[in-house]
């Protein structure tokens, strides 16, 4: 089992990550096929997210109170990349800048909302697991018309698809080979 860095994560994010990692490794202890252990872990995490949804919504409403009421039109050809892993965010930003895109970077939900308020990028690329909250909660606070990609390198595809559908984003497993092409397609409409 791969070691997980819990620095900067909230206690419930740590518990959720440990539960999912423990269930995925349970395939050895109870002799479940790995695909079944992964599906079971995704199911349990989905149930936990549904149970925590009222709390997350309340937390999101508190964040929304801090957001400005009026928002000017989004910029064209600008992207906000939000990932708790600074090296992943830097690689994505460098890849997009090489394609001529203006890129802003944030590493948690609060910084992402503040950066979006300041720069108004047309596309937002957000990791599912941030330091302070879930990426789909961040996307849910953005105004309609902002194009969003919700990505994850560790979540099961079904869990990522469910979270993306909840906030109206496009799910994206990272690191995809065609990341820049996907973002450019969103920028171009």
> How confident is the model over 130-148, as pLDDT tens digits?
888 888 888 888 887 788 8
The per-residue pLDDT for 172 is: 81
Mean pLDDT (whole number) for 8-17: 58
Q: Which of 46-50, 87-91, 129-133, 149-153 is the most confident on average?
A: 87-91
Mean pLDDT (whole number) for 74-97: 86
The per-residue pLDDT for 35 is: 64
Residue 99 has pLDDT above 60, yes or no: yes
Higher pLDDT, 172 or 90: 90
Higher pLDDT, 68 or 129: 129
Residue 101's SS3 state is: coil
Look at strands 78-82 and 102-106 and give their pairing: parallel
- Under the banding of pLDDT at 50, 70 and 90, the label for residue 82 is very high
In DSSP terms, 150 is beta-bridged to 126, 171
Neighbours of 7 (CB within 10 A): 7
The per-residue pLDDT for 75 is: 61
All domains in the chain, ordered by first residue? 11-66 (no CATH), 78-187 (3.40.50.2300)
Mean pLDDT (whole number) for 154-164: 80
- Under the banding of pLDDT at 50, 70 and 90, the label for residue 4 is very low
The per-residue pLDDT for 94 is: 92
The per-residue pLDDT for 170 is: 84
> How confident is the model over 16-70, as pLDDT tens digits?
566 556 655 544 445 666 666 666 666 776 676 667 666 666 555 555 545 555 5
């Amino acid at each position: 089992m791969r070691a997980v860095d819990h620095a900067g994560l909230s206690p419930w994010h740590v518990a959720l990550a440990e539960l999912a990692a423990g269930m995925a490794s349970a395939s050895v202890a109870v002799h479940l096929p790995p695909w079944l252990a992964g599906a079971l872990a995704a199911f349990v995490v989905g149930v936990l997210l549904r149970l925590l949804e009222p709390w997350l919504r309340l937390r999101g409403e508190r964040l929304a109170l801090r957001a400005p009421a009026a928002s000017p039109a989004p910029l064209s050809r600008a992207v906000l990349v939000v990932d708790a892993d600074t090296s992943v965010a830097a690689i994505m930003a460098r890849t997009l800048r090489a394609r001529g895109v203006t890129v802003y970077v944030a590493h948690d939900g609060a910084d992402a909302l503040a950066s979006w308020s300041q720069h108004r990028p047309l596309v937002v690329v957000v990791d599912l697991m941030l330091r302070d909250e879930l990426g789909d909660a961040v996307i849910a606070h953005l105004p309609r018309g902002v194009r969003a990609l919700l990505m994850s390198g560790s979540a099961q595809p079904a869990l990522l698809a469910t979270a993306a559908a909840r906030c109206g984003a496009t799910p994206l497993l990272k690191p995809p080979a065609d990341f820049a092409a996907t973002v450019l397609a969103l920028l171009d409409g």
